Amino acid sequence: MSLRDQDEIVDAELVEDGRLVRAAPAARPLVNEHTVLMPGEEIPTSDDPRTTYTERDLYVSEETAQALKEAEEEGSPQRRTAMRLFEAWCAEQGRVAKPCTTATYTEYGRHLMARQLKVTTIRHYMSLIRTSMPPGKKPDNSLFLLLLTQYRKKNKRALRRKEAFPITLPYLVPMMEKAEADDRPIGWRDSAMFAFGYRFLGRSIEDVDLDLEDLTILDDMVLVWLAEDKTHKGEEQTLYLHDREDLRLVFRMRRWVDYLASQGITTGPVFREVKRNGTIASSETRAKTATKRGDYLRPQTVNERVKVWFAAAGLKTDGRPVSSHSLRAGGATDLGMNGATDEELEEAGRWKKGSRIPRERYVRPAKDASKDPFKKVPTHDPEARAQG
- Quick count: other Cβ atoms within 10 Å of Cβ 27? 11
Which of the pair, 381 or 308, is modelled with greater confidence?
Answer: 308
Q: Which CATH architecture has domain 75-158?
A: Orthogonal Bundle (1.10)
Cα separations in angstroms, 97 against 82, 94, 107, 108, 140? 12, 9, 12, 10, 15
> pLDDT, tens digit, for every residue of 354-368?
887 877 777 777 777
pLDDT given for residue 68 in this prediction: 78
Between 265 and 229, residue with greater pLDDT: 265
Per CATH, 75-158 and 169-368 having the same topology is answered: no
User: What pLDDT sits at residue 215?
Assistant: 95
Model pTM score: 0.64
Residue boundaries of the structural domains of the chain: 75-158, 169-368
**Is residue 6 predicted with pLDDT exceeding 70?**
no
Residues 15 and 2: their CA atoms lie apart, in Å, by 22
Whether 160 has a pLDDT exceeding 70, the answer reads no
Which residues lie closer than 8 Å to 265 by C-beta, 6 or more apart? 212, 272, 280
Across residues 230-252, what is the average pLDDT? 88
> Whose CA is closest to 90, among 78, 73, 108?
108
CA distances from 123 to 183, 308, 336 (A): 44, 31, 29
Average confidence score pLDDT of the chain: 84
**Cα 98 to Cα 101: distance, rounded to the nearest angstrom:** 8
| CB-side neighbour CA atoms (13 Å) of 144 | 25
List the end-to-end C-alpha distance of the chain, in Å, as a whole number: 128
* CATH number at 169-368: 1.10.443.10
How many Cβ atoms are within 10 Å of 268's Cβ, its own excluded? 13
How much is the pLDDT for 382?
76
Q: Are 180 and 187 in contact (CB under 8 A)?
A: yes
Distance, in Å, from the CA atom of 12 to the CA atom of 317, rounded to the nearest integer, reads: 87
How many degrees, rounded to 5, is the angle at CA 109 between CA 107 and CA 113? 115
Under the banding of pLDDT at 50, 70 and 90, the label for residue 196 is very high
> Is the confidence at residue 3, as pLDDT, over 50?
no
Q: Contact, 324 vs 306, CB < 8 A? A: yes
Distance in angstroms (rounded) separating the CA atoms of residues 63 and 32: 35
Report which of 109, 187, 182, 192 is spatially closest to residue 144, judged by C-alpha positions: 109
Query: What backbone torsions phi and psi does residue 302 show, to the nearest 5 degrees?
Result: -60, -40
Q: What is the pLDDT of residue 5?
A: 46
Answer for the pair 210, 224: CB distance below 8 angstroms, yes or no: yes
